[in-house]
Chains A and B, each alone.
Chain A
């Protein structure tokens, strides 16, 4: 009955397909909530369709449903490929797939009806938390034993990131979600915000970032057909990431009454984050140097490199907006929303999509259904996201400066209309991109052209 679950690399593919499906779901909810920020009476009297319930579905589905699993799927392919072995257990990977998606599913079916813990990025209820942790533990066991069974002596940098992601998440997720308080998933009092943002920031930092970095480290050298620029830089980037990223959650509540030393730590380490980010980006760019045409000419690698560009933009903006003086204007408004979108869809999402398009033919042995559709998706997402970033940043500056000059939140709302309307319109591009991607993926699986023998050989030798 479960024969499909032992087919090599089937779990990797399953993770990618589920990621593509959740991308569509997340985009629908994002689009709906964007409309509600222009027209709050759109589809009235439906409890499941109010902004306060749509937003967590959108955010969690995109993070835990689209970007995360798509990158996990990529990892499940490159982990054994780079180690010249098989995944230790395909059924175990399927178990991870099952539990992970159960958690994601609890978003749309739960949050929409008020079944939520309500803490930003920690909304999943306790049972869903347990399900996710089980999935992560399955992935740890599977990855560790795959590494143990490796035929290749050297452990490539992508594998460090992939393995470490789950080690960190298994420790971090229960901590930030305060899983020892099952009813609320929260600590009493102000300290809860410290636990909340410990995971709230490590979610992009220690779940999405290492997965995406690992995938980029896999795709860029392959497409450029050249070895990685520097092992030393890889090491530095990896260890600095974990040493610094885990300290900076406090910058989300910088103006609240949390202890001052914690604010100082979070600001200093936020600034220091420029280092690991630049190191990774420089390493990848130096690898691709002189091979720009190969990267740009390959629709999948183009997406990955696009993600790397968003990464450097995000991570210059991030440290800057952790500065207390700047935050007086940029905090609490759409500036931050713009930042979150370039981080998650720009950095994480681009690399997830690009790596998926790169890896799917390697798994199936068939060409993609259409490379043009991959390019179209790149164009749609790039237009939509660049628009988001500009529009939301501008809206945030309007709000932030107005408040800073003594205008009330209510009085600034009418000024947001043009921004929120264009943001909703730009959402159409993202939504279309998600549909194009899902269509292309399903068609590639069903009737992509068989690859030539030589290509297949290259795919197998690749890693």
Chain B
């Protein structure tokens, strides 16, 4: 048999039909649904008299619109259109009989945090969601990617997607990460290297010692931003850490089924002589705590660097950089550590898990945030929040001056009331720094939770290694 990549193996196990031109129907194991990209899909089913083929494999949770303030049970905390959208999900989940975690459920949270937490995401699966950050689930060695609403409707109706196979890219991170450098810095550095279109047409497999050394949560952070590099999906081969993470979760297999699953999962790796269409190798020792300076996730630099000059770039990037520097209110050549911030957001499907909160708490313990700073921590799920409270992290955050919120997407995309005002500048642990992403005129610098915590204390972008 010809050698295969991990992607090849998962793909081959899910092709339900292949046409002569290579167009495939890819069978979908898990379909995650949230309130923003699904109402039109359910409406489409109703209009055509179709139904959900596998409600037992369809998991719904509201996350994008939901307020994260403690009083959110009060309907007045939501705008009318947000309320309508969440209510539509509520109705659709019940009417079509989906697995559902409503706002009132302690398990509610960001869909990409809830899926793994509840054991829905398992190695070797195909996982889709009407959300680009579905890439997160690739950390389990599952083929996971975002889809549009028409495709959501297609999966609801048929449990398949019309797909052509992507190319294989290997991103190897060799050696050990230096102290103070995290999964977020890996994934940002990779995007800085490849650009936001570098992964277009590919599925990326992340490998190498530094990836193997990451916890499952760190691996989710890495895969989460595969989409920011343009890739259809990011993957990491499952190993003992993966199995340990999955074991005992509510929807993970048990007993003999667990043993059968494990036997298959252990075959899920790229064969030694598998073919790669593109290979990128980065030494872990060369990675530093990373921040973005511009309005594209590829605008990544080590915290020790300076804001670049637009003339440093080539082609269309010259004008783009000029526009970014102006939008961000920066001066070419200024030290990144001289950039003052007024807002800190720690959370999102990129960095809203318990280890992210622990990393932030380790920096914040016994410290106060800078006077006048607006800082919030938004846990990725109700269960993450409960665990952080149990571990005493919530007290550290509150004593430092952070707001301690309920679970949701929050200021990552500012669809709920958590937004930046024009000109406000935020150190954010989320995944996109686009113009207006966190609110019209708002300025976003992406970084790791530890870096965001350090910035909250000093009031400017800060090299967290100086505080360790």
Q: Do A and B come from one complex?
A: no
